[in-house]
Amino acid sequence: MFTGNLTPEQCKFLWNQIPLEFRKHKEQEPTTSEDLVRALIHNISCAHPSQAARVLGDETGQQDWDTSLVQMDELYNHQCPEPEEATTFAGSKLFRSSDVPTFKDDKDYDGFRGSLVSFLQSEDPPRRTEYGRALLRILSSIEAPSARIAAKNWNVQNLLRPTWEATYQQFLNALDKKFESQTILQDSKIAWMGCRPKETEKPSEFFNRFEGLTAQLQDVQRRKHAPVLSDSIITERLLLILPRYLTNNARIHFAQSGQLMELQTPEELRKYFEVTWTYTPRPAATGHDTKSRFKTANASPAPAHATNNVKERQCGIIASYDTSPAVPSEARGPLMPDTDPAKSAVNNARRHYCAQRKLCLYCRRPQSEHQASAPRFKPVTLQGNARPAPAQLQAPIPDQLQIEAAPLLDL
């Protein structure tokens, strides 16, 4: 550090450390502190202003830095003038409002957006000075009540960009923020997952519908920056929803050529299935097994158990087996002999049960429950009210098995 006044040697030393190209008066060497400061202020300069001046057209390089900055700013923001009307391509005139797809339903914004994108891509771009008018004409085609109110006082000047494609992409982004459903990604996924072949649908109709929903979901996924459906996922979904008899035949077909059906692209599967679906007969419907418990037209329903209905019994009491107090399960059912030995034994045991407890033949309740309103109590007995089992008819003995009786011997 130098302190106090500099000596002539120190002043010369500092001056000589400055490169020659930055010194205006190269022969001058300051010998005092005042001369050194004055030389640094007046004789040291940057070469950039003169370089910029020469590049901008001033051959002398004397143009000052501020003037060069203004000139550079003007060149940066320069806009080329539109060509004359005679040189403009005839098809690039601004489209009419009636040509724009109409936004009629607030709930169908996605359909309107798809139609609008197709329209903008098919039309020739307007002139740059007409970008704002073009966007306003699109807004004027909106007829949906709430959307029309939202777009009524919309300023589109801040959406304008140097090119028409960048301008309408910015306009579409603004439309999405205003009118697109927040659940459109989920709704598109549900619609895609719900696409299945219909009974009366032709193969080409189904594939067109499936591919349309697939393209719609992929477009929404791109706009929302979500993972886009890959061909492998589309193929997997297609093989899940196609009829099983078609996919089974396809698996055999591709296996015979050493290929996996799951590795085919959706386009390849469409080509294959459109042919096989058309010419492969649908398997006949499998009929039901009559040995299983199926209700058929010839089957009559089982008759209701008439003995368990609430009604007046022959003894005079009005009740059923379940009327409180309920009849024990051992007392419910027939009491008479049956042609089936097993059933007859069960009925005989039931009759003994009722007889031992002196239950009524008609309602299976004790006499204590039969009051004046039911005077015709008749108890179950083992003999008096039991009818004999039906006689078993014996088949006649064939003649060849009959044995003639031996004659009686006279004693």
Instruction: Let me know if residue 129 belongs to a domain.
Output: yes
Query: Do 70 and 97 sit in the same domain of this protein?
Result: no
Q: Which long-range contacts (CB under 8 A, 24 or more apart) does 24-33 make?
A: 32/5, 32/6, 32/8, 33/5, 33/6
Query: Do 67 and 115 sit in the same domain of this protein?
Result: no
Instruction: Let me know if residue 286 belongs to a domain.
Output: no
Query: Do 170 and 131 sit in the same domain of this protein?
Result: yes
List pLDDT tens digits, range 137-158: 888 888 887 777 777 778 888 8
Query: Do 169 and 206 sit in the same domain of this protein?
Result: no
* 3-state SS, residue 44: strand
More confident residue, 233 or 103: 233
Instruction: Let me know if residue 241 belongs to a domain.
Output: yes
d(CA 59, CA 51): 10
Note the pLDDT of residue 307: 58
Query: Do 158 and 216 sit in the same domain of this protein?
Result: no
Count up the domains in the chain and report the number. Answer: 4
The amino acid at 372: A
Query: Do 68 and 96 sit in the same domain of this protein?
Result: no
Instruction: Let me know if residue 411 belongs to a domain.
Output: no
The dihedral built from the CA positions of residue 145, 146, 148 and 152, taken in this order, carries a sign that is: positive
Query: Do 110 and 31 sit in the same domain of this protein?
Result: no
Instruction: Let me know if residue 141 belongs to a domain.
Output: yes
Query: Do 323 and 349 sit in the same domain of this protein?
Result: yes
Query: Do 154 and 205 sit in the same domain of this protein?
Result: no
Q: At 406, is the pLDDT very low, low, confident or very high (cuts 50, 70, 90)? A: very low
Instruction: Let me know if residue 410 belongs to a domain.
Output: no
Structure tokens at 18: 């400055």
Query: Do 166 and 114 sit in the same domain of this protein?
Result: yes
Is 371 within 8 Å of 387 (Cβ atoms)? no
Instruction: Let me know if residue 233 belongs to a domain.
Output: yes
Query: Domain range for residue 237?
Result: 197-279
Note the pLDDT of residue 210: 93
Query: Do 100 and 60 sit in the same domain of this protein?
Result: no
Q: At 48, is the pLDDT very low, low, confident or very high (cuts 50, 70, 90)? A: confident
Instruction: Let me know if residue 167 belongs to a domain.
Output: yes
Query: Do 119 and 57 sit in the same domain of this protein?
Result: no
Is 192 within 8 Å of 217 (Cβ atoms)? yes
Is 348 within 8 Å of 329 (Cβ atoms)? no
Question: What is the rounded average pLDDT of the residues 78-92?
Answer: 51
